[in-house]
Structure 1
Amino acid sequence: MSTQDRPELDLVASCDCGAVRLAVKGRPIAMFQCACQNCQKTSGSGHSSVVLFPASATSVTGETKSYVRPADSGASFTRHFCPVCSTTVYAQSSRAPAFHIVPAGLFAGQNEWYTPNQLIFARSHVGWDLIDTHLPRHDTYRPEKQS
């Protein structure tokens, strides 16, 4: 999916209790599913469905708390969530601080545009979690494009 094929968005989403709102304006950088064990824990499922946006395309209203953990890549991974209902609003990796990783489900009821194009961390994907078999799968991160 080329950048031009990604939708131009102008949306506002909120956490479960409504105390935190995330506005996004612009095109997603990527839309994918992740089956790492941390995503399994935080989603309560076998994977998470996420959208990667430039940090400059998002704005948050309301107070968030954050939790920082070491990622398998050696980076620090920070999850920003509502302190009232604990809904994840976005996450960031120290590997790519210019981007926000937003759960596609945060836009519930207005996320028909979401089209994942890959599964990352397929090495920890569990068989009971049904994911489109046509999606490219990568054991960890997708390999960098070779020039």
Structure 2
Amino acid sequence: MTIRVAECRCGELTARCEGEPVRVSVCHCFSCQRRTGSAFAAQARFPANRVTISGQTRTYVRQADSGNHATYQFCPNCGSTIAYQLEAVPDMIAVPLGAFADPTFPPPKVSIYEARKHPWTVVLGDAVEHLD
């Protein structure tokens, strides 16, 4: 079974993910832009029972556009988000792709909130689903 380990910038917080991600996506919503400090966020969803988070975390809860809540776990030392859960899919944990620091990670198959996408960004790949 494939094991992938995501780390925060200082290395104090990790997420150990077993198996292949259920979904790899890119999100262009304004909240993700603010969270990442970039034009979009990229993340992988894994079944919650296949993710083990180690290290001290802090949490931040926000209400999404849908009205559901998202709970983010981040490192209290360096501030990196290591994982988050969406109330709408409580059996999944999303891990930011950058935390894996792995250029061979599977590519995104979904690009969401494209109505808020910066016009100079393009999500390429075979069979990418583009959603507004």
TM-score, normalized by length of structure 2? 0.92
Q: How does 1:79-98 map to 2 (within 5 A)?
A: 79-98=72-91
1:72 alignment partner AA:
D
Shift in Å, 1:22: 1.1
Higher RCO by CA contacts (8 Å cutoff, separation 6 or greater): 2
Q: Is the 8 A contact 2:41 2:96 kept in 1?
A: yes
Q: Mean Cα displacement is larger for which, 60-69 or 123-132?
A: 123-132
Q: 1:124 to 1:133 in 2, by over 3 A?
A: farther
Q: Counterpart of 1:90 in 2: which secondary structure?
A: strand
Matched residues, number: 131
Per the alignment, residue 40 of structure 1 pairs with: 33
Are residue 131 (structure 1) and residue 123 (structure 2) matched?
A: yes
Q: Could you tell me which runs of 5 or more consecutive residues in structure 2 were left unpaired when the two chains were aligned.
A: none
Q: Is the 8 A contact 1:45 1:129 kept in 2?
A: no
TM-score, normalized by length of structure 1? 0.83
Per the alignment, residue 53 of structure 1 pairs with: 46
**Cα deviation per residue 1:6-50 (whole Å; 9 max; x = unaligned)?**
xx5212221100111111111211011110111111111111111
2:19 to 1, 5, 26: 26
Q: Counterpart of 2:45 in 1: which secondary structure?
A: strand
2:117 alignment partner AA:
H
Larger Rg: 1
Q: Identical aligned pairs, as a percentage?
A: 32
Taking only aligned residues, the RMSD between alpha carbons, in angstroms, comes to 1.5
Q: Could you tell me which runs of 5 or more consecutive residues in structure 1 were left unpaired when the two chains were aligned.
A: 1-7, 140-147
